[in-house]
Amino acid sequence: MPTGVALRDPREQLFDAAERILLRDGVGALTSRAVTLEAGCAKGVLHRHFEDFDAFLAELVLDRIGRIDAQAAALRDSAGTGTVADHLTDALTDLFGPVATAIVGLVVSRDALRTRLRRSTPRGVPLLAEATAMIAEYLRAERDLGRVAADADIDALAPTLIGAGHLLFAGQEGGPPKTAAVRRTVTAVTAGVVRETPTPST
């Protein structure tokens, strides 16, 4: 295995290597040596760019959280178009891809990593907390447009959707759940709350 390969973007290549290990071998196989071997570089490369391995893992999680920020903007902008159920189904499917689900497992399994991430996510499970905020922001936008009931308890709905979505996608040996299954869950959670067209004022 080469140890002196020049990396065009060392951080991204190391992140990509870590994600491949998570998907292929699981959380227990993720070590600094495994990451650098997977990336095809010397072990010292990781430590030149990160304080230690937990700092590397924290940056990996923060990178994924940054992707949620971009997804949140697109979801918010979709309010008032299509259907609420379809938007929520697509959001949960995009959110709980194999890498993101594996990273949640990583966060849960490493106390030192969670401690570092408390600086950016003081409450809840990092990544899941940001995902919950994304769903809540979208539901509030739809409520403002009259497509979600004015008395809807969004602070309860958003974490319920995220929790149900995570249970659907985590630990799936036969591949991710079908879109129809995700939509059924979304519909069940939001039953009686979603109105696909605004209710006329009286």
The total number of structural domains in the chain stands at 2
Residue 195 confidence (pLDDT)? 83
The answer to whether the beta carbons of residues 184 and 191 sit under 8 Å apart is: no
How far is it, in rounded angstroms, from Cα 105 to Cα 169? Answer: 12
Note whether 163 and 185 are same-domain residues.
yes
Q: Is pLDDT of 1 > 50?
A: no
Is 194 within a domain? no
Task: Render pLDDT for 110-133 as a digit per residue (tens, 0 to 9).
Answer: 888 988 888 877 788 888 999 999
Average pLDDT over residues 43-67: 90
Is 202 within a domain? no
Note whether 36 and 132 are same-domain residues.
no
Structural domain containing residue 140: 62-189
**Site of tokens 């809807």:** 152
Note whether 81 and 135 are same-domain residues.
yes
Is 146 within a domain? yes
Q: Is pLDDT of 18 > 80?
A: yes
Whichever domain contains 20, its CATH number is: 1.10.10.60
CA distances from 34 to 39, 46, 166 (A): 9, 11, 27
Note whether 13 and 75 are same-domain residues.
no
Task: Render pLDDT for 177-195 as a digit per residue (tens, 0 to 9).
Answer: 999 999 999 999 999 999 8
Average pLDDT over residues 61-86: 92
Average pLDDT over residues 74-101: 94
**Site of tokens 């893992």:** 57
Note whether 75 and 170 are same-domain residues.
yes
Residue 199 confidence (pLDDT)? 46
